[in-house]
Amino acid sequence: MILTDFQKDAITEIVNIAFGRAVASLSELTGSRILLTVPKLEICTIDQLPSVLMEILNSDVCTVHQIFTGEVSGDALLILDYKGATVLASLLTGEEIENMETSAKEVLIEVGNILLNACLGTFENMLHVHITFSVPHLHLNQLNHTLNTIKMGKEEIRYVILVVTTFTVKESNVGGYLLIVLGVVSLDKFIQCIKNLEMDR
């Protein structure tokens, strides 16, 4: 799947707007100034994803997973390596967290919920598509197990919009990976909506 420069720029712009909304909500929630950067965006097939992510994640991961349905449907995931997840939870709670205890899990689910809903909500508003979100769930697994979970039972070719970001909290940086997984039909609809956006300009 090859996107035009406009389509890539449009997706990046939408994600930037979504991240801006998420940052405001996260900062208000935690009482700390939080920054999110969006330095990299790419599209690959679900089969290519393991090799892409294994280069940057090779340990246990913490994943907030949300399923969405509607005119565009798929899976949205926020993935952090385990150490980064505990650091982020510590920074957001102001407590030293070494193990993924209940309070840390709740904080990370809320972070994922805010970030994923901001992205999906922005897609919905800007592209004029109706999307319904499920309740997000937190998973602590090895990366390959997490990737197998989103592939399970899916026979169609699926594509992944991969966004690499960095959370900056109290001058500490934690890398995160946002995945939007779409089947062919949903991706075609998504791209058509972006083309309509282009024509409206």
- In this prediction, residue 39 carries a pLDDT of 66
Which pLDDT band, with edges at 50, 70 and 90, does 154 fall under?
low
> pTM for this structure?
0.87
The 10s digit of each residue's pLDDT in 165-198 is: 888 887 788 888 999 999 888 888 888 888 887 6
Which pLDDT band, with edges at 50, 70 and 90, does 87 fall under?
confident
Domains for the chain: give ranges and CATH numbers. 5-195 (3.40.1550.10)
Distance, CA of 193 to CA of 187 (rounded, Å): 10
Residue 48 has pLDDT above 90, yes or no: no
Residue 21 has pLDDT above 70, yes or no: yes
